[in-house]
Chain A
Amino acid sequence: MTALARPSSLSDIHADVWQAHALATVPVRVQTTGNAALDAQLPGGGWPVGGMTEVLQTDGAHCEWRLLLPALARCGQGPVVLVGAPFVPFAPALVAQGLAVQRLLWMAAQTLAQRLWAAEQALRCAEVDAVLAWLPAGRADTVRTDQLRRLQMAASEYSKLLFVMRPAAARADASPAVLRLQVGVDAQRADALEVQLLKRRGPPSDQPLTLQACSAQLSMLLAVHGQPLVRPRDALDRPAARAA
C-alpha cells in the first residue's frame, strides 16, 4: 500500500538532481589528489577525469608538481604529456615521487597555437593518461575562451586528466574549466601550499586551503633544520652548531 511513499528528502528523488548547497556528485570518474583535505573539497573527491582543471599561479612561483604529482603517479601506466613546460622537468626528482620515467613525454612547443594544437593531439591519443599544458602569459597571445573550450571538449570526449597552467592574471576571466583553483606558496611555511578554489561544481569556497604538500624527505629535512640557516658558514659546520 505504501509503494508510492513520498520521498523523505529531496536527495532521494533522483541521483541526477543536484542541490546547489552540496558538492556535485556527478557520476564522473575522478582521480584522487593524494591529499585528503583537498579531496574533501572537490566534487566527487578528486581531480575530474574528462574535464579541464585550471591551475592559476602567480608569475615566477611554481607549485604545480607538488599539487599534481601524487595524482599523476597513480593515474595509470600511460604517458603523461607535458606541453610547453616552462623549465626542464627534472626526471630524477619526479621518479623519486613515484612517476615512472618512461611515462614522461615533453612537447616543447613554443607558441600558444602550437601548444593548444599539441595538447589537443595528446588528448586524442588513446594511450595518454594525463596532459599538462602551460599556456603562456604573453600580451600578444592570450588564450581565448573558445580555444580552452576546445581542449575541454577533447578532454571530456576522450576522458583524460587535463591540467592547464595559467597566470594568476587570468583569474577574472571566464573559463570553461570544470575546476579552477589558484595555488601559491604559503607565506608562513615553506613546505605548505595555499589553494583557493575559484570554481567548482558546488557551493563557492571562500576559505583558502592550506595543504601540507612536500615530499616526506624534504619535509623531514626542513623540520630538522627548523630555523632558516641564514649564514651558509653555519651550515658547513653543522655538527658543531648542534653540539653547542
Chain B
Amino acid sequence: MHWIALQPAPHDGAADAPALTDVHAALAWWALQFTPLVARVQDVLVLEVSGSERLFGGRAALLAQLFKPNRPVAPVYSAQGATSLIAIGRLRAAATGRPVDLAPDALPLQALDSAQPHLPTLLRLGCRSWGQLRALPRGGLVRRFGAGLVDALDRAYGLQPEVYPWITLPDVFDAPLELQARVESAPALLFGARRLLAQLLVWLRARQRGVLMLELLWELDAARSAEQQGRLELRTAQATQDMQHLQRLLGEQLARVTLPAPVLYLRLRTLQTQPLGGESHSLLPDDLRHGDSLHQMAERVAARLGATQVLCVQTRADHRPEQMQCWQPWVAFDGKVDAIKKRANEAVQTGGEGLNAHTSLYPSWLLPVPQRLAVRRGQPQHHGDLALLAGPQRVEAGWLDGVAALRDYYVAHSAGVGLVWIYRERLTPNPGEDHAPWYLHGLFA
C-alpha cells in the first residue's frame, strides 16, 4: 500500500488561467488517470497507487509522471505514506514547518483528525505524538476517549483496512457556480462561465472526449423577476476541447442576451459529447497550421452575424438558373458524409452532362430577383441600349412547381456595364402590352 495525499494550494490571482470552480473535484478527476482509488478526506485528496505502480513502470516512474510532465490542474501540496492517515498526517505536519518524511511515531497529534476533539486533554497528559498515544493502555483509551480514536490509530498503523467512498468520474458534466456578486448584464456572465469552462476542460481531458453541445443555465433573482431561469445552448460542428473557441462563441451569444433581473447562480452542463482522438503533430515545424480551423471561423462568424449569413452552395439539376443552385447555411461535413456527397456529386455530374454542356455561357453574378428592363424603341435598356450578341437560349421548365418559366435568354452588351444576361418572357401576362417584358437576370462579371 502506498498513499499519496494532495492538498490544493491557494489559487494565486495573478495566474492568467481562470480559477476552477471546484478544485477538489477537478484534482480528483485528473488523479483518476493514475489510480481508480481516489477519495476525498475533508480538504485533502488521497490516492492509493500501489495497484497501478506496475502499469507505470515502478513507483518512482509513477511519481515522476504524477508530478513532472503532466502538471496537476492546480498547484498542490503533497505527502506520501504507507497508509492514508500517515500521508495526511505528514501533509499536515509539513504545513506547520516540520519535515515531510517524519516517522509515524513522531507525527504530532494535531495531524490526526480523530484526535482533534480531545486535543487539550491529551496535551495536558503530556501526550504529543502518535507514538506516545499508541503507548497508552488501549482499554483505558477506549473508555476515556471513545472507540473512534483507537480505530483511527489502528487504521493509521495498518491494523485495520481503510475504506473510503471512492470518487468516480461522472458521465455528464454538470457544475453549478454561485456568483460572488449579482450580475446585471449578460456579457458579465462570461467571467463566471470562463471558470466553469476551465472546470469542463479538466473533465473532458479525463474522459478524453470533445464537447459538441453545451448548455449554460442561469438562475435569476426571484424577487425581481417572474422568470426564474434562462438558458443558452452552444453547438460546435466538431467535437472540441478548445475552450478559447467555446468562450468566444459564448461571448458572441451572451452579447445578444438581455437579463430581466440580476443573476445569482450559473450552471454549465454538457448535452452531447464525443470521444476525441488525439491530434497528431507534425515532425517538421513548417507544417504547423497557422491560424484557426475553418469550422471555428465559420461558427464564430455565424454566431455574430447570424446563421443565415454564412452560406455554402449546392448545385442542383434544373434548367431554371435560380433553381440551379441553393445557398444554405454552412455546415461542417465529416469525412464520411463528404465521401457520400462526393459520390453523389459525381453521379449528378455524369448524369447531368447534357444539362451542363453550356455552363460557360452562364453569368457569374445572378440577380436575386430578375430586374424588369425598360424598353425604348423596341430595345431593352440597361445603362444604355442593350445590343443582343448571342441567343436565344430557350428555357422551359417549372411546370410542376406551379409557375412555369418560359424564357428566351440572350447575352447582351451594354456600353455602360459590359456583358449582361437578359431574358424575355415568352408569355405576355398582360394583354394590354404589345411587347413581352424583358428582364435582367445576370451579369458576366
Contact = CB atoms under 8 A, between A and B. Distances in A.
Nearest to A102: B312
B220 to A, nearest CB: 31
Contacts of B358: 217
Contacts of A159: 290
Given A106-B312, A108-B311, A225-B390, A60 B304 contact: no
B445 interface: yes
B308 to A, nearest CB: 8
A228 B388 contact: yes
Interface residues of B, number: 62
Interface string A172-215: 00000000000001010011000000000000000000000011
A108 B310 CA distance: 7
Interface stretch (B132-140, B227-235, B408-416): B408-416
Contact of B294 (A95, A106, A125, A191): A125
Given A185-B417, A225-B389, A228-B388, A235 B410 contact: yes
Contact of A218 (B308, B312, B361, B417): B361
Contacts of B325: 90-92
Give the one of A95, A125, A224, A230 with max B CB within 10 A. Answer: A125
A124 B292 contact: yes
B81 interface: no
Contacts of A117: 304
Interface stretch (A2-10, A23-31, A63-71): A63-71
Interface string B270-308: 000000000000000000011111101110110011001
Interface in A221-241: 221-222, 224-225, 228-232, 235-236
Interface string B424-443: 10000000000000000011
B76 interface: no
A232 B356 contact: no
Nearest to A219: B360
B362 A96 contact: yes
A23 to B, nearest CB: 28
Nearest to A78: B294
A101 B362 contact: no
B387 interface: yes
Contacts of B365: 62, 65, 86-90
B173 interface: no
Nearest to A158: B291
A95 B360 contact: no
A228 B387 contact: yes
A1 B399 CA distance: 89
A34 to B, nearest CB: 15
B173 to A, nearest CB: 29
Given A124-B292, A126-B290, A93 B364 contact: yes
B418 interface: yes
Interface string B387-406: 11111100000000000000
B238 to A, nearest CB: 12
A105 B383 contact: no
A88 B368 contact: yes
A112 interface: no
Contacts of A221: 361, 389-390, 411
Interface in A89-144: 89-97, 101-102, 104-109, 114, 117-118, 121-122, 124-128
A91 to B, nearest CB: 4
A88 B300 CA distance: 23
Contacts of B311: 105-108
A109 B306 CA distance: 9
Contacts of B327: 88, 106
A235 to B, nearest CB: 6
B442 A90 contact: yes
A216 interface: yes
Nearest to A108: B309
B413 A87 contact: no
B311 to A, nearest CB: 4
A43 interface: no
A79 interface: yes
18 contacts: A60-B416, A66-B364, A79-B294, A89-B366, A90-B325, A90-B366, A91-B315, A94-B364, A106-B313, A107-B310, A108-B308, A121-B297, A125-B294, A126-B292, A158-B291, A218-B360, A218-B411, A235-B410
Interface of B: 289-294, 296-298, 300-301, 304-305, 308-315, 321, 324-325, 327, 330, 345, 356, 358-368, 378-379, 383, 387-392, 408, 410-411, 413, 415-419, 424, 442-445
Given A92-B315, A96-B359, A126-B292, 19 more contacts: A62-B417, A65-B364, A66-B444, A66-B445, A92-B325, A105-B298, A106-B312, A108-B308, A108-B311, A109-B309, A118-B301, A125-B292, A125-B294, A126-B294, A187-B415, A190-B418, A191-B419, A229-B391, A236-B408
